[in-house]
């Protein structure tokens, strides 16, 4: 055996190397289990929502996401295409014969007039006059693409970075990384639309494989947190005494079993629930809001109860942000319903969008104006988003547009956002992103960046993989940041 071969097959070196390798693997496993390896935050089971430092100085402290379920048409809202007016009623040369839901019809002009707005002269639809007035404060991202043209998977992709179920939502990643400034309210609140929950349901606020502490808590003005109030047969003094006794017993048991993280986490969740008995009813009680605020949001609109309900949810969102809740998810639109309950305008787009825009426009604009006048917008990031866009042609035999994941618009305003800019572009008919083409990975990476988080460092080991919100992709859209 030559000298090189004897070096590799030396028994003593082989055994020594094996022992070292196994020790390294064991050490890495222990460090990872304690979240001391890599960029994962250190979570104390007894205080899972304690504030934690970001990777670098953050521009925003908290986030409110206005999620328009059903896929709002960019061609009727933010992406003006005068060429569609020119070619209205003509076939799209070289276009698809069949789209997602059936045969394609002819090109169709925008169903609303567009006007130039503000100092920037940005063309925005008359469908949303209140939001249009805020154009100079908004950074539009107009070349987004999605990985799915089906509502449920596309909602998953927008909210979790994956078309499949079982992955953590954006709000869960943020609260896992940063905790919360308020220990009496959930760190992450999801507010469903008065008409119902979106197509992907709780996937939009689920924690996936992250610890259960970091899932969103769904409630609204209409539907408060369930089982929060003790039964009427239990007197307040008795309930308070019972909770005090339970707290002493839990603490004694924890002292007898130090290091039991599961027990500590369970106690922490019970204690938060007890604090929520006082904090949630108080923050959900809008009777303390002055009349001019109700009017600003449109919450006093007795002619449109859905709009008034959404407006009250917007006020609730502002109150949660005021109290330091880290992430608020505000849904506009519910589940698939032929476009009756959300923005899925396949057959009678103009008729349905008239109704949906009336619900969205004044309340959402009121929220942004209210945050600004209270000085909250300098620390709050506002995100407007939808799961994909719409085709430039109508569906054959209908007055609506089919699904289009190849080019659509979302936008940002508030903390750290460059005002009055439009980034990216779709083609002249609005069918496909052609300039500065972006993925929703990029959009989510930008949101994390504004919260002081590096999307490549924010990871969690699951089934042997270091998972992250942006998978192995994503880049920060720096042109929309100050």
Half-sphere exposure of 199 toward its Cβ, with a 13 Å CA cutoff?
26
- pLDDT tens profile 358-411: 999 999 999 999 999 999 999 999 999 999 999 999 999 999 999 999 999 999
- For residue 40, count other CB atoms closer than 10 A to its CB: 18
Q: Which residue has the tokens 């569609």?
A: 84
pLDDT at residue number 4: 46
Does one domain contain both 23 and 134? Answer: no
Tell me the torsion sign for CA atoms 455, 458, 461, 462: negative
pLDDT at residue number 33: 47
Does one domain contain both 101 and 180? Answer: yes
In a domain, 237, yes or no: no
Is 108 exposed, middle or buried, given 0-12, 13-18 or 19+ CB atoms closer than 10 A?
buried
Terminal-residue alpha carbon distance, the chain:
67
Instruction: Specify the 3-state DSSP secondary structure of 408.
Output: strand
Does one domain contain both 27 and 172? Answer: no
Would you give the DSSP letter of residue 44? B
Is 67 exposed, middle or buried, given 0-12, 13-18 or 19+ CB atoms closer than 10 A?
buried
Is 171 exposed, middle or buried, given 0-12, 13-18 or 19+ CB atoms closer than 10 A?
buried
8 A C-beta contact, residue 120 and residue 442 = no
pLDDT at residue number 19: 55
8 A C-beta contact, residue 124 and residue 167 = no
For every residue of 285-342, DSSP letters joined together read: -GGGS-HHHHHHHTTT-TT-HHHHHHHHHHHHHHHHHHTT-SEEEEEES-S-STTSSS
Does one domain contain both 134 and 11? Answer: no
Does one domain contain both 71 and 114? Answer: yes
Does one domain contain both 369 and 465? Answer: yes
Does one domain contain both 29 and 144? Answer: no
Number of domains in the chain: 2
Name the residue range of residue 467's domain.
62-227+288-480
Would you give the DSSP letter of residue 214? G
Does one domain contain both 13 and 95? Answer: no
pLDDT at residue number 246: 74
In a domain, 253, yes or no: no
In a domain, 43, yes or no: no
- Cross-strand pairs, 144: 408, 438
In a domain, 270, yes or no: no
Host H or E run for residue 252: helix 236-256
Distance CA 75, CA 11 (A): 72
Total residues belonging to the chain: 482
Does one domain contain both 18 and 105? Answer: no
In a domain, 269, yes or no: no
Would you give the DSSP letter of residue 35? T
Does one domain contain both 75 and 9? Answer: no
Does one domain contain both 143 and 13? Answer: no
Which stretches of the chain drop beneath a pLDDT of 50? Answer: 1, 3-8, 24-25, 28, 31-37
Distance CA 467, CA 459 (A): 5
In a domain, 252, yes or no: no
In a domain, 197, yes or no: yes
In a domain, 38, yes or no: no
Q: Are strands 98-99 and 102-107 parallel, antiparallel or unpaired?
A: antiparallel
Q: Among 325, 354, 329, which residue's Cα sits nearest to residue 339?
A: 354
Half-sphere exposure of 279 toward its Cβ, with a 13 Å CA cutoff?
18
Q: Give 454's contacts (C-beta < 8 A, 6+ positions apart).
A: 39, 55, 56, 448
Does one domain contain both 159 and 91? Answer: yes
pLDDT at residue number 23: 56
pLDDT at residue number 423: 98
- Cross-strand pairs, 300: none
CATH at residue 142: 3.40.720
């Amino acid at each position: 055996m030559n000298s090189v071969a004897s070096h590799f097959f030396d028994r003593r070196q082989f055994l020594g190397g094996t022992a070292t390798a196994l020790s390294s693997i064991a050490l890495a496993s222990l460090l990872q289990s304690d979240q001391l390896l890599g960029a994962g935050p250190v979570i104390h089971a007894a205080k899972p929502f304690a504030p934690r430092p970001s990777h670098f100085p953050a521009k925003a402290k908290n986030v409110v996401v206005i999620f328009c379920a059903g896929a709002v048409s960019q061609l009727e809202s933010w992406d003006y295409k005068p060429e569609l007016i020119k070619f209205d009623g003509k076939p799209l040369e070289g276009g698809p014969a069949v789209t997602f839901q059936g045969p394609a019809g002819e090109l169709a002009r925008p169903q609303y007039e567009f006007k130039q707005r503000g100092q920037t002269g940005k063309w925005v639809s008359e469908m949303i006059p209140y939001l249009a007035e805020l154009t100079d404060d908004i950074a539009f991202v107009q070349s987004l693409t999605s990985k799915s043209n089906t509502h449920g998977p596309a909602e998953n992709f927008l909210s979790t970075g994956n078309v499949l179920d079982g992955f953590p939502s954006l709000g869960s990643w943020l609260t896992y990384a940063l905790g919360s400034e308020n220990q009496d309210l959930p760190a992450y609140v999801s507010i469903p639309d008065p008409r119902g929950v979106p197509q992907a349901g709780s996937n939009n606020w689920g924690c996936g494989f992250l610890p259960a502490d970091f899932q969103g808590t769904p409630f609204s003005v209409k539907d408060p947190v369930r089982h929060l109030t003790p039964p009427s047969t239990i007197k307040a003094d008795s309930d308070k005494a019972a909770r005090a006794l339970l707290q002493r017993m839990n603490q004694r048991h924890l002292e007898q079993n130090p290091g039991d993280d599961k027990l500590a986490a369970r106690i922490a969740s019970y204690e938060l629930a007890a604090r929520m008995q006082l904090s949630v009813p108080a923050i959900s009680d809008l009777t303390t809001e002055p009349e001019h605020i109700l009017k600003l949001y449109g919450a006093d609109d007795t002619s449109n109860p859905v709009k008034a309900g959404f407006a009250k949810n917007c006020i609730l969102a502002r109150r949660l942000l005021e109290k330091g809740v880290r992430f608020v998810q505000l849904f506009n639109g519910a589940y698939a319903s032929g476009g009756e309950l959300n923005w899925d305008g396949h057959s009678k787009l103009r008729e349905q969008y008239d109704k949906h825009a009336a619900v969205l426009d004044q309340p959402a604009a009121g929220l942004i104006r209210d945050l600004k006048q209270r000085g909250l917008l300098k620390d709050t990031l506002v995100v407007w988003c939808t799961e994909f866009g719409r085709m430039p042609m109508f569906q054959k035999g209908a007055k609506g547009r089919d699904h289009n994941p190849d080019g659509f618009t979302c936008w940002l305003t508030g903390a750290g956002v460059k005002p009055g800019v439009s980034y990216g572009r779709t083609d002249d008919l609005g069918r496909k992103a052609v300039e500065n083409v972006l993925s929703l990975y990029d959009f989510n990476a930008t949101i994390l960046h504004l919260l002081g988080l590096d999307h490549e460092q924010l990871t969690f080991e699951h089934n042997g993989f270091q998972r992250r919100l942006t998978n192995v992709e994503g880049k920060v859209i720096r042109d929309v940041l100050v």
